[in-house]
Chains A and B, each alone.
Chain A
């Protein structure tokens, strides 16, 4: 397996990058936290494009910038391998399968089966399930991220504000950030 060893110094082809991320996009269900381990398996263990520590560093950037996690991670890795075009092609790879699947569901399956009684029964159960997932996401975030009473009080205040008044989410986010800028600096709570 001589060529395998030299593969690392050779430039990875754009087509290979596209195909790897196409596979990630096609076979991982459940969003970011399900997709990141699959990306890791492909690029660290199978293709050996990055070592483990570089991948972990990429996760920090992935989580600290806006956008879907799996997409961010794909762009970072593609860009590392082949610069601008690598990043672009990785993004294209990861979004192509979902676009095709969703178009098939939205244009054919969904309108066709929507009024079927059993499909309605499924969605009757899916709606509370989705609300449970959303609630759990918030509570798990709170469990992980809220350290110190400053953050806890800020959460309570912002929750009251967004429940009682119709404030746009972006305003709440910017408000929270600006309050954080002041209170975590002045009182170090």
Chain B
């Protein structure tokens, strides 16, 4: 049952990850932490960090990792299969039909309303995960400094991750 539920949960996540990896964060948070209690917020943040640092699409990495944590190798394969199912079905089976739907003016208006929703959701996820990650002055400074770097200089996320790791090593209250 856990395997089936993992597969279905990650299919939902794949289906509603629109416009790139960060759209999956609020969904994963809702499904993994709030609804099922499968992970704590800190575990989730650690997994996202590892997913960013390892090769491959971040959503696939996160699915494999979470699937493994919850149900071993079969779990990791089913979670990964789940997250790629919507892409495969939409592109390989529904291709032409769906392109017509996407290019319909009504769909464009729907997508225009979807973008504000995505922005609101990602901000909400940042807010609730932030309560778990920003535990003292040092972590608040790491957050603020890296956010500023990312907004002003558009630094590659990978460098920001590296910098975060380095600052953690220096500032950790040993």
A→B interface (CB under 8 Å): 25-35, 61, 63-72, 75-76, 79, 84, 87-88, 91, 94-95, 97-99, 101-103, 105-107, 110, 117-118, 120-142, 145-146, 151-152, 154-155, 158-159, 161-163, 166, 168-170, 172-173, 175-181, 183-185
B61 near A124 with CB under 8 A, answer no
Q: Can you list 9 contacts pairing A with B, beta carbon distance less than 8 Å?
A: A68-B59, A70-B56, A87-B92, A102-B50, A127-B45, A130-B48, A132-B160, A134-B129, A169-B26
For the complex, give the distance between the alpha carbons of A132 and B127 in Å.
10
B151 interface residue (CB < 8 Å to A): yes
Which residues of chain B in 107-144 are interfacial with respect to chain A, using CB atoms and an 8 Å cutoff? 109-127, 129-130, 132-134, 139-140, 142-144
- Given A63, A121, A131, A159, which contacts B168 in the complex, CB threshold below 8 Å? A121
Chain A residue nearest to B15 (CB atoms) is A66
B100 interface residue (CB < 8 Å to A): no
B171 interface residue (CB < 8 Å to A): yes
Could you say which of B53, B106, B134, B147 has the most chain A C-beta atoms within 10 Å of its C-beta? Answer: B147
Task: Tell me whether A106 and B150 are in contact in the complex, defined as CB-CB below 8 angstroms, given that A98-B60, A176-B114 are known contacts.
Answer: no
Per DSSP, chain A at the interface is: helix
B166 interface residue (CB < 8 Å to A): yes
Contact-size category for B: 35 or more
Which residues of B sit under 8 angstroms from A152, Cβ to Cβ?
116
Task: Tell me whether A138 and B126 are in contact in the complex, defined as CB-CB below 8 angstroms, given that A99-B64, A169-B121, A184-B109 are known contacts.
Answer: yes
A129 near B163 with CB under 8 A, answer yes
Which residues of A sit under 8 angstroms from B16, Cβ to Cβ?
66, 169-170, 173
Task: Tell me whether A168 and B30 are in contact in the complex, defined as CB-CB below 8 angstroms, given that A66-B87, A71-B87 are known contacts.
Answer: yes
Which residues of A sit under 8 angstroms from B30, Cβ to Cβ?
168-169
* B 134-174 to A, binary, CB cutoff 8 A, 1 in contact else 0: 10000110111011001100101110110111111101101
Which residues of A sit under 8 angstroms from B17, Cβ to Cβ?
66-68
A125 near B102 with CB under 8 A, answer no
A137 near B122 with CB under 8 A, answer yes
Contacts beyond the supplied A32-B20, A98-B60: 20 A-B pairs with Cβ under 8 Å: A29-B158, A30-B52, A30-B58, A30-B156, A31-B21, A32-B58, A68-B14, A75-B87, A94-B60, A99-B64, A105-B50, A128-B164, A129-B164, A131-B126, A134-B126, A138-B122, A146-B115, A155-B116, A159-B124, A178-B110
- Given B21, B26, B112, B157, which contacts A68 in the complex, CB threshold below 8 Å? B21
B39 interface residue (CB < 8 Å to A): no
A106 near B69 with CB under 8 A, answer yes
Which residues of B sit under 8 angstroms from A70, Cβ to Cβ?
56-57
For the complex, give the distance between the alpha carbons of A159 and B15 in Å.
21
Which residues of B sit under 8 angstroms from A68, Cβ to Cβ?
14, 17, 20-21, 57-60, 83-84, 87
B113 near A177 with CB under 8 A, answer yes
Shortest beta-carbon distance from B66 to chain A in Å = 9
B160 near A133 with CB under 8 A, answer yes
Which residues of B sit under 8 angstroms from A168, Cβ to Cβ?
30, 35
Task: Identify the 5 closest CB pairs spanning chains A and B, nearest first.
Answer: A180-B113, A125-B168, A129-B164, A98-B56, A176-B117
B27 interface residue (CB < 8 Å to A): yes
